[in-house]
Every structure is written in structure tokens, then in C-alpha cells.
Amino acid sequence: MQFELMASMMCANYGNLEKEIKDLEAGGIDSFHIDIMDGRYVPNFAMSLNDMEYITRVSTKRADVHLMIEHPNNRIQLFLSHLRPGDTVYIHPEAEYHPSTTLQSIINAGMVPGIAINPGTSVETVMEMFRIVKKVLVMSVNPGNAGQMYLPYVGRKITKLLALKEEMDFDIYWDGACSANKILEYAPRGVKGFVLGTTLLFGKG
């Protein structure tokens, strides 16, 4: 059973961020999950472009960038210019008029394209995006804040996605309220990676 673990850096210790990054790398983390929030698409402000640039400069691991912003296509080149080929960028399809255009910009820059699916977003409404992306980030909580409770009905959505992933060639990632029990349940079923925050890694919940 192989799976990836990503550290949710909005939960990190910003009093000594470089040490936090190095300690996570030494502990075997696979990538750094960077949540960018604009206070509009979600009711919170989180990490910034500068935070992202610093983490990618200091770390040797891949960046896993989650854009929780309105109309990401308006600013996508700004983010891509601070990333490395092979890094992942997720957008929310509902946040953009033509999400496929934004995803193509990510692909053209040599990044891995992904979409994030909110708890209230049905699989059917984003079906065509699965033909473009390589990663689908399933939100098991409403986006915008750390430390939320898991929404049980998301499990049925993951079951639907698992039935589609081979045919449409994408991997599934879990984001939100990720406990050890969730990893032990869903990794054997085919979920490829898990974002670790206050529930399991940083211990602030």
C-alpha cells in the first residue's frame, strides 16, 4: 500500500518556518500543500504568494498549490512564475468562467493540473474536467479554515471517483480532517494522497 502525505503549510509554525520545512522533509513528507485564499472565494485569508515563493525556495520537495481564489486565470501566470516544473496547481472549477483555459495554462507551464471539489460540488457537474486534470483534490470539509469536522457524505463521492479514475486517468487526493483511520480506510481503496493538517500532523486542533 503506497500513498503520499502532504503537509498543510497553513498550519505550520511561522515563528521558525525554515526549521519546520526541514523537519518535515527529514520526517519523510512527500510534498508541501500551500493554501492560497483571497477572502472572496472562501471567507478567509491564508497564505500569500510570498509564502509560496519562500517554501518552494527553501524546500527540496514538490509544491502542492491549492488556489482558493476567484477567477484564478486572471493571476495564474503570477503563481506559475514562482513554481517549478512538476509542481501541482489545483483550482476550483466554480471559481472560473472557463476552468479548462486555466488548466491549460498550468499544463503549458509544465505543472501538474488539478481541480479541487468542494463538499457541495457533485461529481457529475465537473465530469469533463476529469479528462484534463491529473489530480482531483476532494475536500472533506468546507474550504477556508483548518480544524473543521469531517463531512461523512463525502465518502460516497470518493466511491464515485474511485470508479472513474482508471478510465479517465486521474489520481484522488484527500484534503480536510484527515485522521489515521481515514488513511487506513481509503489508501487501500485507491486514494493516492492525503493532506495532513491539525488533525494528524501539526497538533493544534
Whether residue 56 contacts residue 82, with contact meaning beta carbons closer than 8 Å, is answered with: yes
Question: Rounded to an integer, what distance in angstroms lies between the CA atom of residue 37 and that of residue 131?
Answer: 26
Active site residue 171: no
Give the integer Cα–Cα distance in Å for 107 and 46.
Answer: 25
And the C-alpha cell for 33? Answer: 500543500
Nearest Cα to 62, choosing from 185, 200, 204, 193?
193
Distance of alpha carbon 179 from alpha carbon 14, whole angstroms:
23
3 state SS of 34: strand
Closest by CA to 138, choosing from 189, 178, 107, is: 178
Out of 23, 30, 35, 87, pick the active-site residue. 35
Decide if 30 is catalytic.
no
State the catalytic residue, choosing from 51, 87, 171, 175.
Answer: 175
- DSSP states along 82-151: TS-TT-EEEE-GGG-SSHHHHHHHHHHTTPEEEEEE-TTS-TGGGGGGGGT-SEEEEESS-TT-SSPPP-
- Residues with a known catalytic role: 35, 175
